[in-house]
Structure 1
Amino acid sequence: MEVPTDPSRPPSLRSAPAHELPPPTELPDPADLPADPDLPDPFETFGGEAVERRADWLARRAEILDLFRRYVYGYAPDPPEIETAAERTPGVLDGAATLTEVTISFPDLPADAPSITMALFLPANADPNADTDTDGDSPAETGVPVVLGLNRAGNQVTVADDAVTILGDAPRGARQEFWCVDRILDRGYGFATYFCGELAPDSEDVGGATAGGGSTAGIHATYDAAALPGPPGSEWGTIAAWAWGLHRCVDVLRAVEGVRAHQIAVLGHSRRGKAAVWAGATDERIALVVPHQSGTGGVTLSRANDQESVADITGAFPHWFADDFDAFAGREAHLPVDQHLLVACVAPRPLLDTEGSLDFWANPDLAHESLRAAAPVWTFLDADGMVGDGLLAGDDEISRATAGDLCQYRRDTEHTLNRGYWDAILDFADAHFE
């Protein structure tokens, strides 16, 4: 079956992919960039001009994203045409949800190009084909917001239900206490997910590490590196590929009946948190961004990072980034960007950075500094921005009054995700999706 789409939505909401990217700007080689130990100013362009008006910021934002593509994540290809096939299973999770598994394929790419299998769980009363006894406007009539999460081991790990197709080797429900899909549904949200390894394996055989000679697996092997935007050394790495996959899921979610197209949140953990913030910064259709313990290359600053440095991350995981990112190993001051500028590109949309106070490698303190350095952009755009020091923890109340649009939330954990985090995330979403 095809994905159940809402015919009342205009074609731009039903099927249009993310807008095509502008051509890359010609930028210096990494070796030719000057050093500056201070964080780059959001309100000063690469050429030294001041940002004074909203139109100036829009141009600066486009410039910032181009700088990140050139030197950090790499240039992804333009969005392709997509085709979908779906299988709908009502009554999963003991009747709490309807599962729709959507296969997203790319007819204009070679036949061996990978597809994306997105699992979408909607609360049973949000299923437009189900009966509901709700008085007035039911969720089936208005739709529900959806959290789109990037998983690392297969869609089946998120729930213990036989209806979910197994991808990879992990058993069903292996990470259900990590994803807490039951809690998400109970709070009136849908949950969508795809397995990052189905699109781009997390391996040095793919992505930026081998871009100069062509990649060998996943979506990278589908595209000739020489045909991608940007100069050699700036081809997309694995993080950019995973973010590209999130964008393709957004393409589909915006057309599905029962989903509020304007209330899609994106979440990822650790390396997938890096992909989530890159996806959110580069796609304004994403209404709320939750990078969870994303660390270096995510929300955490690269300059003065005494935990995972650029040398550490590019040495261990070169395939995550454009090849040229490792030119800044030990030379972080030469970067014309830092991660606060990526955070700023989400503005004025809300962003919740969730961290573990014992997750030292992710460096939550430096992630908090990143948020504080980005906060003036929300103010400049007349958004709520940051409240106080922008830091909440534990059982602190999370509302618009306490969290604003930009906040870090901490729990006393190491590198994990659990129900306590989900309650905070959903409280933040409630405050912005009311």
Structure 2
Amino acid sequence: MKGIIYAALTFGLCTAVAAQAPLNYDVENRGKDLGATAGQLKSNKKLPNPFEFHDGTKVTKFDDWSKRRNEIKADIEKYEIGDKPIPSDVSATYSGGTLTVTVKEGGKTMTITSKFSIPSGNGPHPIIIGMNSGTGSLSSSLFSGFVQVPFSHDQVAKYSMNGQKDTNVGFYKFYGNKNQNGDYSAWSWGVSRLIDGLAQIADQYHLDMSKIAVTGCSYAGKMALFAGAFDERVTLTIAQESGGGGINSWRTSADFASRGTNIEKIDNTNYSWFMQSLKSQDPYKLPHDHHELIAMIAPRAVIALGNPGYEWLGDESGYKSMMAATEVWKAMGIEDRIGFDFTGGHEHCQAASSQTKSVTAFVDKFLRNKDANTDIHVKPTNGKGFKIDNYGDWIDWETPNLPYEEASIPDTSVAGPDTSVTDTSITSCGDGRIALPKIGMHVTAGRIEVNGAPAGAIVKLYDVRGNVVATLGATGGDLPKAKGRLLAIVESAAGVRLMTKAIVNTGF
């Protein structure tokens, strides 16, 4: 690789594919160092604008979203659940069908275990993390061929129905100074540590870390929602019947309750799950609301399931919140990545057959790479006191255009007719050439993000002298801490060069 010429090669494509935002990232929170802070309490009868920073400036491009997302995260941590720390020392082993994750911090050690089997074959195997069981409250048959990973949340924070927190176990004992946190910070922290562990065994057991889903129902539906929102490695979040404190916005729930319904709202939820201080908050003064908790998932995928026959779930509120959140995906041009199905007529946490089909569509499209229609927006009907068609009254802001844009340098997307390889990621053009996957590459200060590379691919970065300065995974990662021109080459697991692109590292 000596004497690299910094000109990317371009050949004719079989088909043109528009660049789309990544479906997941290789780190828990890309924006943790962006300096985002929580907003102040002030009266706002509408759902807050997800496209406005706390200083009043607007989100005007896709790359702005990471910082705005972290402002929302800061709001939720300050006013609802407490902070979610990222530990520096996590290790993992898989033996006898059990994953053991060991976390060390400040001289303390904590372990989290999960028992599951690895499907046969070489994979790569997608992953479903279920709250309490391998697939939550959904049928395991929906996730055939997946690694089905149960999150046993009592290891991290014990479930409490009466709001009494046990601070002598798990997360609270490990950290010691976070007893005022809500369990949803602890539980989402625990799911992230499982993902840390899965990443460490992924190569050995052929796990596909670009295809991770989380799911749960009821209080565990909230758990799945917080886990997916707070960890950008999650590809698909499935929030089933999460109700108040989940997909429902506090403002729309307060309004719904004012019309005589008995639903979960800010002053009658569980204050072990949330911070005790949340109980005294005025929902109309929060700088955020739960349409923005949902929006933290963007540009990744989410589907919410409801059950309007259960008054306590408050699905009118959930519907309005989902509709408001959808505007974020609409701004990015990826509305097919957010859906909801409020079909009723079934028991709590027992999905209707139509809802099972809705989930299957999202699983097929985003975790199995199959063609599927995910334009799924099933309104709640026949609920007590429902008034759903005025959701637009809650929005007094405009939706901008925030398209995802790749770096402008062309890429090698098709090899010439003399190329002879055997690689399942490569298809024939039918005219003597072979078509390589359409791969997107997006470069920001300090990071390179790759979208569309097959599992097992690597990204090699070369300096101007032809030296390899970094080798990254299929989704990219941190750039080396040096300014200058680099050559990024994406190679398949079989060693086939899939893409060559010259980039400029502007530093940090």
Q: Which residue among 95, 98, 101 is the counterpart of 2:98?
A: 101
Identify the residue that residue 378 of structure 1 maps to in structure 2: 329
**Deviation of the 1:26 alpha carbon:** 5.9
**Deviation of the 1:54 alpha carbon:** 2.0
**Deviation of the 1:349 alpha carbon:** 1.0
TM-score normalized by the length of structure 2: 0.59
Residues 113-132 of structure 1 correspond to what in structure 2 (within 5 A)?
114-123=110-119, 125-126=120-121
What are the ranges of 5 or more consecutive residues in structure 2 without an aligned counterpart? 1-23, 258-262, 370-508
Identify the residue that residue 182 of structure 2 maps to in structure 1: 237
After superposition, the Cα gap between the structure-2 partners of 1:110 and 1:44, relative to the gap in structure 1 and judged at 3 Å, is same
Residues 280-359 of structure 1 correspond to what in structure 2 (within 5 A)?
280-305=228-253, 306=257, 307-313=263-269, 317-328=270-281, 331-359=282-310
Identify the residue that residue 276 of structure 1 maps to in structure 2: 224
User: Quick one: which amino acid aligns to residue 150 of structure 1?
Assistant: M
Cα shift readout 1:336-385 (whole Å, capped 9, x = no counterpart): 111001111111111000112323211222212111101121122221x1
Name the Cα RMSD after superposition: 2.8
Residues 144-163 of structure 1 correspond to what in structure 2 (within 5 A)?
144-151=125-132
- Asked if 1 retains the 8 angstrom alpha-carbon contact of 2:28 and 2:230, the reply is no
What are the ranges of 5 or more consecutive residues in structure 1 without an aligned counterpart? 1-12, 89-99, 127-139, 160-174, 208-214, 386-403
Identify the residue that residue 11 of structure 2 maps to in structure 1: none
Identify the residue that residue 54 of structure 2 maps to in structure 1: 46
User: Quick one: which amino acid aligns to residue 357 of structure 1?
Assistant: P
Identify the residue that residue 424 of structure 1 maps to in structure 2: 358
Residues 393-432 of structure 1 correspond to what in structure 2 (within 5 A)?
404-411=336-343, 412-418=345-351, 420=353, 421-432=355-366
**Deviation of the 1:35 alpha carbon:** 1.3
After superposition, the Cα gap between the structure-2 partners of 1:221 and 1:21, relative to the gap in structure 1 and judged at 3 Å, is farther
TM-score normalized by the length of structure 1: 0.69
Percent of aligned pairs with the same amino acid: 24
Task: Compare the two structures and name the one with the higher strand fraction.
Answer: 2
User: Quick one: which amino acid aligns to residue 106 of structure 1?
Assistant: V
After superposition, the Cα gap between the structure-2 partners of 1:59 and 1:16, relative to the gap in structure 1 and judged at 3 Å, is closer
**What is the count of residue pairs matched by the alignment?**
329
- Which secondary structure state, in structure 2, belongs to the residue aligned with residue 304 of structure 1? helix
- Which secondary structure state, in structure 2, belongs to the residue aligned with residue 377 of structure 1? helix
Q: Which one has a bigger Cα radius of gyration?
A: 2
After superposition, the Cα gap between the structure-2 partners of 1:308 and 1:17, relative to the gap in structure 1 and judged at 3 Å, is closer
After superposition, the Cα gap between the structure-2 partners of 1:362 and 1:24, relative to the gap in structure 1 and judged at 3 Å, is farther
Work out the CA distance in 2 between the residues paired with 1:35 and 1:324.
18
- Asked if 1 retains the 8 angstrom alpha-carbon contact of 2:44 and 2:285, the reply is yes
User: Quick one: which amino acid aligns to residue 217 of structure 1?
Assistant: V
User: Quick one: which amino acid aligns to residue 201 of structure 1?
Assistant: K
Task: Compare the two structures and name the one with the higher helix fraction.
Answer: 1
After superposition, the Cα gap between the structure-2 partners of 1:106 and 1:415, relative to the gap in structure 1 and judged at 3 Å, is same
Work out the CA distance in 1 between the residues paired with 2:103 and 2:340.
37
Q: Which residue among 179, 201, 208 is the counterpart of 1:260?
A: 208
- Which secondary structure state, in structure 1, belongs to the residue aligned with residue 267 of structure 2? helix
Work out the CA distance in 2 between the residues paired with 1:260 and 1:432.
12
Work out the CA distance in 1 between the residues paired with 2:89 and 2:102.
9
Q: Which residue among 70, 86, 109 is the counterpart of 2:78?
A: 70
User: Quick one: which amino acid aligns to residue 359 of structure 1?
Assistant: Y
User: Quick one: which amino acid aligns to residue 218 of structure 1?
Assistant: G
- Asked if 1 retains the 8 angstrom alpha-carbon contact of 2:243 and 2:318, the reply is yes
- Which secondary structure state, in structure 2, belongs to the residue aligned with residue 365 of structure 1? helix
- Asked if 1 retains the 8 angstrom alpha-carbon contact of 2:125 and 2:206, the reply is yes
**Deviation of the 1:415 alpha carbon:** 1.8
